[in-house]
Structures are given as C-alpha cells and as structure tokens.
C-alpha cells in the first residue's frame, strides 16, 4: 500500500502538471513527430509516451477494470435515490451520478456542471449521427414494431446501429426513460429557482 506521504507527493506533481498544461491530452493521442502515443502522467508529473501495443494493452486493462468495478457496484444494496435527489444525511449534497447501486454525492454546482457537460456531449454526438442517418434508406421511430421479428425499436446507437428489444424490455426501458425525464425537469426547476435567488 502506498503511504499517505507518497500519495500527497503524486497529487502535488499532478497539480503542477495541470498548471503547466491546462489543455488535457487524451490517452492514445498520437504524436507524429515521435510516432508515439500518449500513455498518461507519471507519479513525478511527467508525460509518458509509448508505442501502439502498450496503448492497446492499457485500454484493455482499463476496460476490464471498469467492467469489474461496475459489477461490484451492482452487488451493493439497491437504493431509491436518483440523480438530483438530496442526501438524506446531508441536505447540502445531491446525487450527481450513479454506478450500478453505488451513489456519488456532490454540491448543486457540481450537479449542474455535470448536467451541462452531458448536455453538450449529447448534442455533439446527436448532431453527428443525425447527419449520418440522413443517408439511410429507411428510418425507424421509437416504438416501431419490426414486421418479421415483432421486436420494438428503441433508438440508433452512437455507431448508428439499430437497437431492437422485446415488448417487455421496451416497457421497462421506456418507464426508466420517463423517470429520467422527470429528474431532468426537476433539475431545470431547481436551476431556475437558484438563479432567481
């Protein structure tokens, strides 16, 4: 286990790196001058660049870790709290996001900041895939029933693939979607009230 002194050293090194480089690099970003890929930040706050094979191995490990972490979060006791709800033990904190059954709390400012970032990301992706769908011969709308399989259409994925599901799966997912819309409406109302105050 790392000592607290070592952790603090790494945090300070990372903060200094962020001050020197305010624009973040993405893992896997290619540098044509060195023909290497961005691997991450070392414990001393220096950039690490490696070849394509090392990047692919890192991505596979991260993917495997995320999958294990999500499965671990799903095993936690279920909760009735949703994104935007207040912390029962501390009303100054709100549910900012969930992973499985694990809840993460933060301030209202953090909640609205995440919501705004997600909104911009969705708009950017949606605009991209709407442009792609213009060239498709046939378009489906949510709730359409496939004539052969009788599956119900849900939406197009980010890779522009059609997502179909059974009627039972569709009903459950649609109910969750409606609940999410209610949460978004609640957040909009909270934001309007906070702006008026």
Q: Which two tokens stand for residue 138?
A: 């046939």
Rounded-to-integer distance, Cα 44 and Cα 116, Å: 33
On the question of pLDDT at 78 being above 70, the answer is yes
Give the per-residue pLDDT at 136.
Answer: 65
DSSP state letter for 86: B
Q: Could you give the residue ranges of the DSSP H alpha helices within the chain?
A: 4-20, 52-74, 108-133, 167-196
Give the per-residue pLDDT at 137.
Answer: 60
What is the separation, in whole angstroms, between the first and last Cα of the chain?
Answer: 47
Domain-by-domain residue ranges, the chain?
1-75, 108-197
Rounded-to-integer distance, Cα 127 and Cα 124, Å: 5
Query: Is 111 in contact with 86 (CB distance < 8 Å)?
Result: no
Give the per-residue pLDDT at 141.
Answer: 86
**13-55 tens-digit pLDDT:** 888 888 888 887 888 889 899 999 999 888 888 899 999 999 9
Give the per-residue pLDDT at 152.
Answer: 92
Please state the φ and ψ torsions of residue 30, each to the nearest 5 degrees: -95, 140
DSSP state letter for 106: E
On the question of pLDDT at 118 being above 80, the answer is yes
pTM: 0.51
Give me the mean pLDDT over the 119-141 stretch: 77
Give the per-residue pLDDT at 158.
Answer: 65
Query: Is 64 in contact with 75 (CB distance < 8 Å)?
Result: no
Mean residue pLDDT of the chain comes to 85
Q: How long, in residues, is the chain?
A: 197
């Amino acid at each position: 286990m790392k000592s607290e002194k070592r952790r603090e050293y790494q945090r300070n090194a990372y903060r200094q790196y962020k001050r020197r480089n305010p624009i973040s690099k993405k893992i896997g970003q290619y540098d044509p001058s060195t023909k290497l890929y961005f691997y991450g930040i070392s414990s001393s706050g220096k950039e690490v660049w490696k070849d394509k094979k090392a990047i692919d191995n890192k991505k596979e490990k991260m993917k495997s870790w995320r999958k294990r972490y999500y499965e671990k979060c799903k095993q936690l006791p279920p909760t009735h709290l949703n994104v935007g709800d207040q912390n029962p033990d501390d009303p100054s904190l709100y549910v900012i996001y969930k992973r499985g059954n694990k809840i993460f709390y933060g301030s209202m400012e953090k909640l609205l900041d995440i919501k705004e970032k997600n909104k911009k990301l969705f708009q950017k992706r949606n605009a991209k895939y709407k442009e792609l769908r213009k060239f498709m011969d046939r378009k489906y709308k949510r709730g359409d029933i496939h004539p052969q399989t009788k599956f119900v259409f849900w939406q197009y994925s980010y890779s522009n693939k059609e997502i179909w599901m059974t009627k039972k799966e569709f009903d459950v997912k649609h109910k969750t979607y409606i609940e999410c819309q209610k949460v978004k409406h609640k957040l909009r109302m909270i934001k309007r009230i906070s702006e008026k105050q």
